[in-house]
Chains A and B, each alone.
Chain A
Amino acid sequence: DAGVTQSPTHLIKTRGQHVTLRCSPISGHKSVSWYQQVLGQGPQFIFQYYEKEERGRGNFPDRFSARQFPNYSSELNVNALLLGDSALYLCASSLGTGDLRNEQFFGPGTRLTVL
């Protein structure tokens, strides 16, 4: 079975541009979470979606938004890119929400570079 997949693998953008990152969860998983991992740091929680509804939001500006589709895949959008948005963006999927005994499975990430 395929794990969590993310696209694209790498992306280079310039300041002020917009970017869309995509994530496909493991089949049967209904929850998707997004994390930002700046080089040398631990991942920081951005959003969680479950059954197409936002269930959690981290301390990120409104330039960051996300959505989940009926097939449970998800997009993360970032507007007006800043140099500080350069990071590895990780997607994680799990069966459900609210019970952390449900293991979260992480994708390989999308490396975003903002020039």
Chain B
Amino acid sequence: GNSVTQMEGPVTLSEEAFLTINCTYTATGYPSLFWYVQYPGEGLQLLLKATKADDKGSNKGFEATYRKETTSFHLEKGSVQVSDSAVYFCALGGGGNKLTFGTGTQLKVEL
């Protein structure tokens, strides 16, 4: 079945540091890939998505590229801010509207 593996947290960075959160997946076919963010006390929000191989999703300075050859969708940001502190979930799309999520990576950004 489909599965998503993402790096464990928490990840602690200083403001303006470079961020990478690794995500790899196992799936049949070519699923759509997503990054969701969950800020403290809030629901999940879609951060970015990619629907086919080599697509790059981007939003709010975050980027991720759909790599079919390595089955990866790593999240990157060049300069993180304290306001980026949240839990980040990698997810893949299956049949219907089903999303399969990773376990989440907590990011803490300090001044």
Instruction: List residues of A whose CB falls within 8 A of some B CB.
Output: 4, 31, 33, 35, 40-45, 48, 50, 55-56, 58, 90, 92, 94, 97-98, 100-109
Contact = CB atoms under 8 A, between A and B. Distances in A.
B45 A106 contact: yes
A103 B98 contact: no
Interface stretch (B60-68, B76-84, B88-96): B88-96
B36 to A, nearest CB: 8
A4 B91 CA distance: 20
B27 interface: no
A85 B46 CA distance: 26
Residue of A48, A103, A106, A107 ringed by the most chain B CB atoms within 10 A: A106
A100 B32 contact: yes
A56 B101 contact: no
A42 B12 CA distance: 20
Contacts, number: 69
Interface in B4-33: 4, 31-32
Nearest to B45: A106
Contacts of B95: 56
A43 B103 contact: no
**Which 6 A-B pairs have CB atoms at the shortest separation, nearest pair first?**
A42-B101, A100-B93, A106-B44, A56-B96, A100-B32, A106-B43
Residue of B4, B44, B101 ringed by the most chain A CB atoms within 10 A: B44
B89 A42 contact: yes
Given A41-B103, A42-B103, A43-B101, A104 B96 contact: no
A45 B44 CA distance: 14
A33 B42 contact: no
Given A42-B89, A42-B104, A106-B45, A48 B51 contact: no
A33 B101 contact: no
Nearest to B51: A101
Contact of A41 (B44, B93, B100, B104): B104
A50 B32 CA distance: 20
